[in-house]
Amino acid sequence: MAAHPNIGQYLLARLHEAGINHIFGVPGDYILRFYDQLTHSPIRHIGTTREDTAAFAADGYARCHGIGALAVTYGVGALSVVNAVAGAHAESSPVIVISGAPGVREQREDPLIHHRFGPFTFQREIFERITCATAVLDDPLIAFRQIDRALAAARYYCKPVYIELPRDMIDVSGYPIPIETLAASGSDAESLREAVDETIMLMEKASSPVLLAGIELHRRGLQDALLRLVNRASLPVASTLTGKSVISERHPAYLGVYEGAMGAETARQYVEQADLLLMLGMTLNDVDLGVYTAQLDPNRVVRASQDEVIIRHHRYPKVYLRDFVTRLSETTMPAATPLEVAIPMPCAPGFPERGRAMSIERLIGRLNRALTPEMMIICDTGDCLFAAIELYVHASSEFLASAFYTSMGFAMPAAFGAQIARPDRRALVLVGDGAFQMTGTELSSIARFGLNAIVIVFNNRGYSTERFILDGPFNDISAWRFERLGEVFGPLQGYDAPTEDAFERALTQALGETATPSLINVHLPPDEPSPAMRRLAEHLRGRV
């Protein structure tokens, strides 16, 4: 790096040092000069069809790679990404939002400049509500320090940050400032020791302990520590829906997804009847608690969150999740024998039956047989998400979804970002017909970059979740010929699958086609939801 780089160069260099190799986005005049610098940097620009899909793609990238970034123009670009960035904040995904802006002089002298929608501070104020840190790089004296602090905050909190770059500051030289050495953020030693000792004592007394693994284990990179703990203590383990695939779902101790009355009965019985429940990295939200149908006795719970451990009625502040799980996995007494729960994996006996109409239950059973260790699943919200509870993923952290924020349209752009981050994995995308109509244009980007995703469209002719809560003509959508999108989107194999034998042929060909993406339009009856969707609808009807 030059002795005195300009602000744009410094930002790109620090992004690359943080591990970002790709930046998603759509060009606009206020960000164009930064884009020009980007083309001469080690970071590759990845164009998307819309700004909001760039943010979803950066979110998918961050979940696979540890951190992601997008760059958009002021106003029309930045405001388009608000929903997706809010989702990244809700689901703890560290996304760097870079927005171009009118120049400092323009803001002072030309108040009627285009894309303005009020005082120039409004955009930063909006993003202050949905990020953990914001920085407007309008002062070269402090710009480098602002960049460093923003990136450090994204890493530490696992949340999005917002960086605004006025276009007349991009080429301005900054002032090097010694990089801050952040104070050590380890746990309080005595609190950690006591929390671990009390937990181990309770584990040794318990006759039916169960571990419930949540989303923060994903975000903090604690999958290996979790696996060591499960293997060492021979603990049966369930995951929350937002934490799905935090451990390999083919592991012999895996119980399935726990979601209160919404989830599988076996997982529910194990979790709710446990005399000790270790809740590690779980967020308390209505999705993971099955719309508050979970029956969890706090007198039998050890709950470890990001910065504290609560054991029954004892609270241990400043005990960080990483330290607690790591120490617990190292000091727990090894069990005498390994545990095998042996929960039967859903399958589809006799699939395919010639001429038999497709159903969600048998579709999921067939996909379970098709999954390989090289696959990652990216799932949209709606019935495909609830059906995916019964999909058993091979490797840990290979299931991505907007499971808590539940934004429709997440899957297609997130799959694009995930495959850019993980070219060694093949994306299997589960998306409803309604969600695909929102952001499915990113399938053209997947084709453009030569990726080989397999897209399964759950075509039940409308918004199925809303249909089962309160039906009406507002849940109907246009009928698309999804299998013909290759004629528009470029190199893409499309298949129509109204029956099981048609789906079998399509899936076999899609699995064998590794050079281009494939899309299978699966026709599903509108009145036959997944079991989990049916249970959810029964609980929600009374609230609408």
What's 98's domain CATH number?
Answer: 3.40.50.970
Question: Which residues pair with residue 99 across a beta bridge?
Answer: 72, 164
Query: Do residue 236 and residue 148 come from a single domain?
Result: no
Query: Do residue 133 and residue 205 come from a single domain?
Result: no
- Spell out the per-residue pLDDT of the chain, length 544, in tens: 446 899 999 999 999 999 999 999 999 999 999 999 999 999 999 999 999 999 999 999 999 999 999 999 999 999 999 999 999 999 999 999 999 999 999 988 877 888 888 889 999 999 999 999 999 999 999 999 999 999 999 999 999 999 999 999 999 999 988 776 655 578 999 999 999 999 999 999 999 999 999 999 999 999 999 999 999 999 999 999 999 999 999 999 999 999 988 777 889 999 999 999 999 999 888 888 887 788 999 999 999 998 999 998 899 999 999 999 999 999 998 887 777 777 788 889 999 999 999 999 999 999 999 999 999 999 999 889 989 999 999 988 899 999 999 999 999 999 999 999 999 999 999 999 999 999 999 999 999 999 999 999 999 988 877 777 788 888 888 999 999 999 999 899 999 999 999 999 999 999 999 999 999 999 999 888 787 777 766 666 555 5
- Residue from 454, 447, 439, 432 nearest 486 by CA: 447
What is the rounded distance in angstroms from the CA atom of residue 503 to the CA atom of residue 535?
27
Is 177 a member of any domain? no
Query: Do residue 397 and residue 526 come from a single domain?
Result: yes
The residue written with tokens 């244009």 in the block is 441
Predicted TM-score of the model (pTM): 0.94
Strand bridging mode 95-101 / 301-304:
unpaired
Tokens (6 digits) for 509: 């060909």
What is the rounded distance in angstroms from the CA atom of residue 2 to the CA atom of residue 8?
12
What is the rounded distance in angstroms from the CA atom of residue 541 to the CA atom of residue 469?
5
Tokens (6 digits) for 65: 């790679």
Is 95 a member of any domain? yes
Is 314 a member of any domain? yes
The residue written with tokens 């049966």 in the block is 236
Q: What is the CATH number of the domain that holds 292?
A: 3.40.50.1220
Q: Quick check: 144 and 172 in contact, CB under 8 A?
A: no
Which ranges of 360-409 does DSSP label H, i.e. alpha helix?
360-370, 383-387
Query: Do residue 135 and residue 243 come from a single domain?
Result: no
The residue written with tokens 């002021």 in the block is 74
H or E stretch including 495?
Answer: strand 493-497
What is the rounded distance in angstroms from the CA atom of residue 433 to the CA atom of residue 302?
41
* CA-based end-to-end distance of the chain: 58
Is 162 a member of any domain? yes
DSSP state of 491: S
Nearest 5 degrees, angle CA 222-CA 226-CA 229? 140
Query: In terms of residue numbers, what domain contains 325?
Result: 189-331
SS3 call for 269: helix
Query: Do residue 245 and residue 154 come from a single domain?
Result: no
Query: Do residue 81 and residue 200 come from a single domain?
Result: no
Query: Do residue 393 and residue 534 come from a single domain?
Result: yes
- Residue from 58, 160, 95 nearest 410 by CA: 58
User: How many domains, in total, are found in the chain?
Assistant: 3
Phi and psi at residue 305, in whole multiples of 5°? -105, -165
